Chain A
Amino acid sequence: MSEIRQATPRATPMTRREWLMSDRPQSRLQARLGRAYMTWQRFSANKLAVAGLCIILLLILIAIFADVLAPHSPVIGNLGGARLLPPGSEGYLLGSDDQGRDILSRLLHGSRLTLLVIVLVAIIAAPIGLLVGAVSGYAGGWVDAVLMRITDIFLAFPKLVLALAFVAAMGPGIENAILAIAITSWPPYARIARAETLTVRNSDYIAAVRLMGASPFRIVLRHVMPMCVSSLIVRVTLDMAGIILTAAGLGFLGLGAQPPLPEWGAMIASGRRFILDQWWVATMPGIAILIVSLGFNLLGDGLRDALDPRESGQ
């Protein structure tokens, strides 16, 4: 017995790492997990990308626990007693605004609005873009022509201008701002999805699936779309910063979130009047927007490197 034990050190159960890195995966799950693990390896080697991820995780945590973290109410201020206090005042770490509200509390609660905008825009715009692009790329012909010309029309306008027009037509408010941003941000995704589809539509595995009798619907949904997802994720993540800026821009112009909602762009707009004497009112939300946008950009960059199949080595 003892001989056997000594003789089979290599046969001991594989370490988790070895199991993940195996080049002969025993199951589909193992293959997927293995791939995810390698992606994570590449991603975590990029320190900046990890920093970006940390920022986003922190943002999510802050949004969840805003009620606990915020020292004051974000909407009810002390107009008479605590107006335009400088940063570091007692109880007002980042100072207070022109309605006597704590800027820190407003920033913390504002993170919820920022996340809401990002998440909603992503789950509205990305699927639309993906569907339009995949259908257009796979179908070709007049379907492709019609869908792509519609996409061209949307791309012909600057994003913010188009969003402004939509909000002006639908009326100001955070819901309409989200809709307007979503409506204006799907065309690039459609373009990407179409390009990816064109590269795979004539490949052997698609031909094989078609030979087995799969319907075009099934092919697009199960075999084309998954191939587009990774590049789409990268693009959406990189766009997040742009979405935040557009939302803030609409808020700044008074067309996004309405008072008293602590939307960061609207906060900058109201602080603009005091920029000469009370710089912090406009600066603090500006810094918040900067940090979060930076976080998404770093994350997006890291994801692009990690998800790029040419560098994946498999």
Chain B
Amino acid sequence: MIHSLNKHVRMLTAGAALSLILMAGAPAFAETPADTLVEGWAIDDIITMDPGEAFELSTAEVTANTYSYLVRLDLNDTSKIVGDLAESWTVSDDGLTYTFKLKPDLKFASGNPVTAEDVAYSFERVVKLDKSPAFILTQFGLTGDNVTEKAKATDAGTFTFTVDKAYAPSFVLNCLTATVGAVVDKKLVLEHVAAVTPSDEYKYDNDFGNEWLKTGYAGSGAFKMREWRANEVVVMERNDNYYGEKAPLARVIYRHMKESSGQRLALEAGDIDVARNLEPGDFDAVSKNTDLATTNAPKGTVYYFSLNQKNANLAKPEVAEAFKYLVDYDAIGSTLIKGIGDIHQTFLPKGVLGELDENPYKLDVAKAKELLAKAGLADGFSVTMDVRNTQPITGVAESIQQTLAQANIKLEIIPGDGKQTLTKYRARTHDIYIGQWGQDYFDPNSNAETFTVNPDNSDEGKNKTLAWRNTWDVPKEWTEESKAALLEKDATKRAEMYKDLQKKVLEKSPFVIVFQQTEVAGFRGNLKGFKLGPSFDTNYVFTVSKD
């Protein structure tokens, strides 16, 4: 009967057969190796891999998976701390000296033993290099001159750390979980230090391995970092010298992919196992795909807008309150930031000690109009807002523009890139600024300080907190309370103090906090144990396995 088929039909059948073959072959090409995890992620923020200098989100994650710390956050309850290299620790009665006992028989990936000497050296190089994240350690009174005294090894297994004030122990320990707390292999780094001519700014004769560690690795984590090629890839391999449970996978690869849609297509095709930068629309599509799964975790970044108190209209307390009633929180939460954020109106993100989960404000135009009338602005006014040209910020800003218009406030949006808007913000020349604030380290003080401390409100002020940037003269008692919380030893009492501060800021401040960022990821269905942590320092990949 074949002969009776005409030419067209034959071509069609041949075509169909050919496409069948192609379709059957395609998944086999695309699948990633069974012992390798491939993540698609925008890693263009990486500048260096040196834990003493790196202060980016991507490096926080890579460092957390490749280095060990003295202590880490307890993933079951992030207001608590668990030992990593440290087996136990004690705080002296005066609250100034912390003594850490290391676990026995620890080894670096290089095979060198981990001793208290290495810990002391790690502290020393962070303080002496004095790069951007160094303040996390130097705020405890460490300087280049005293660091070898204040952070030292008393014997091979004991490390003591002396701080300048009796801080809350939770604060000190939380700071040690940041990237700067990573312990480097002293012996290995010393083999690679480069000589430097001392100058007035930099008094030391070597670079503490900073140049080599830019792409090098000297850690003891579950994975070794084998390679980082800028804007291309980060490759990590299993560390067989790791003291803890060995990672199930032999290799983890972060592939640089910038676009959400590109990540989604690669994930659907099986070219990558995890997509890390999905936008709401793509995230929705991934969560509907039965071959794929999704996960999310709230992150320590809050999105807010703030009113510069230099503007006479915005300085009126009724106006600030009216703005809090002029945001359509419900609609924003269910649309613009669906999946990538949760409405959150207090300054401490969920998951941090002392968080206050209260969202009292709702869109209420009538109430806002009443408040504006009380302030003598019943007819509204015009005001500008500096908006960074990225989503979801522009979307949220446009939504706020619409709701403000209902109360006769004419909002003009001034778009710009991150650098333009931030420069204006830091110079205090904006009217309204909308943007995000991420915690510098996983402790309530990071946000409490920036939102409630402003010792010098003049343009020359040295402490450039967010309160200062908005020319907000914070009531003295609030600043005092924030500083007192830093020294409160009892963690429960400390949490209460932060809750009280948050209530005050919620009620009377020029900050309108809208939502907290949620990090999302889509991943292939055959992955097991893939989870996102509460911070980028806790996005662990050494628990992941494949079916």
Contact = CB atoms under 8 A, between A and B. Distances in A.
Interface of A: 75-77, 79-80, 83, 98-100, 172, 254, 258-260, 273-278
Interface in B71-97: none
B405 interface: yes
Contacts of B146: none
B394 A79 contact: no
Nearest to A80: B331
Interface in B318-341: 328, 330-332, 334-336
Nearest to B260: A273
Closest 10 CB pairs of A and B: A80-B331, A79-B331, A83-B335, A259-B398, A76-B402, A277-B281, A254-B415, A259-B413, A276-B261, A99-B398
B401 A260 contact: yes
B285 interface: yes
A268 to B, nearest CB: 15
A100 B332 CA distance: 11
Given A273-B281, A276-B282, A260 B328 contact: no
Nearest to B405: A76
Instruction: Report which residue of A76, A98, A277 has the largest number of chain B beta carbons within 10 angstroms of its beta carbon.
Output: A98
Contacts, number: 59
B412 interface: yes
29 contacts: A75-B405, A76-B406, A77-B402, A79-B331, A79-B332, A79-B335, A79-B336, A80-B328, A80-B330, A80-B331, A83-B335, A98-B335, A172-B414, A172-B415, A254-B415, A258-B414, A258-B415, A259-B398, A259-B413, A260-B401, A273-B391, A274-B281, A275-B261, A276-B261, A276-B281, A276-B282, A276-B285, A277-B285, A278-B281
Contacts of A275: 261
Interface of B: 261, 264, 279, 281-282, 284-285, 328, 330-332, 334-336, 389, 391, 394-395, 397-399, 401-402, 405-406, 412-415
A198 B438 CA distance: 67
B383 to A, nearest CB: 14
A260 B328 CA distance: 17
A99 B415 contact: no
Contacts of B330: 80
A144 to B, nearest CB: 43
Contact of B402 (A83, A99, A273): A99
Contacts of A276: 261, 264, 281-282, 285
Contacts of B394: 259
Contact of B401 (A80, A259, A273, A277): A259
Nearest to B391: A273
Contact of A75 (B332, B334, B389, B402): B402
A141 B281 CA distance: 63
Contacts of B406: 76
A98 B397 CA distance: 13
A277 B285 CA distance: 8
A80 B395 contact: no
Given A98-B395, A254-B389, A274-B281, A80 B334 contact: yes
A98 B335 CA distance: 8
A244 to B, nearest CB: 22
Contacts of B397: 259
A99 B395 contact: yes
B420 to A, nearest CB: 11
B273 to A, nearest CB: 21
A260 B398 contact: yes
A136 to B, nearest CB: 40
Contacts of A75: 402, 405
Contacts of B328: 79-80
Contacts of B398: 99, 259-260
B70 to A, nearest CB: 43
Instruction: Report which residue of A100, A259, A273 has the largest number of chain B beta carbons within 10 angstroms of its beta carbon.
Output: A259
Nearest to B412: A258
Contacts of B401: 259-260
Nearest to A171: B414
Contacts of A278: 281
Nearest to A81: B331
Given A79-B335, A80-B330, A98-B336, A260 B402 contact: yes
A249 to B, nearest CB: 16
A75 B398 CA distance: 10
Contacts of A98: 335-336, 395
Contacts of B389: 254
A273 B330 CA distance: 22
A177 B391 CA distance: 24
Contacts of A100: 331, 335
A172 B417 CA distance: 12
Nearest to B285: A277
A283 to B, nearest CB: 15
B281 A99 contact: no
Contacts of B413: 258-259
Contacts of A273: 279, 281, 391
Given A259-B398, A259-B413, A80 B281 contact: no
B279 to A, nearest CB: 7
A254 B390 CA distance: 11
A275 to B, nearest CB: 8
A246 B105 CA distance: 68
Contacts of A254: 389, 415
Given A75-B402, A79-B335, A259-B397, 9 more contacts: A75-B405, A79-B332, A80-B330, A80-B331, A80-B335, A172-B415, A276-B281, A277-B281, A277-B285
Nearest to A275: B261
A95 to B, nearest CB: 14
A75 B413 CA distance: 14
A99 B415 CA distance: 18
A250 to B, nearest CB: 12
A109 to B, nearest CB: 15
Instruction: Report which residue of B328, B391, B398, B415 has the largest number of chain A beta carbons within 10 angstroms of its beta carbon.
Output: B398
A80 B405 CA distance: 17
B439 to A, nearest CB: 28
Contacts of B264: 276
A99 B401 CA distance: 11
Nearest to A276: B261
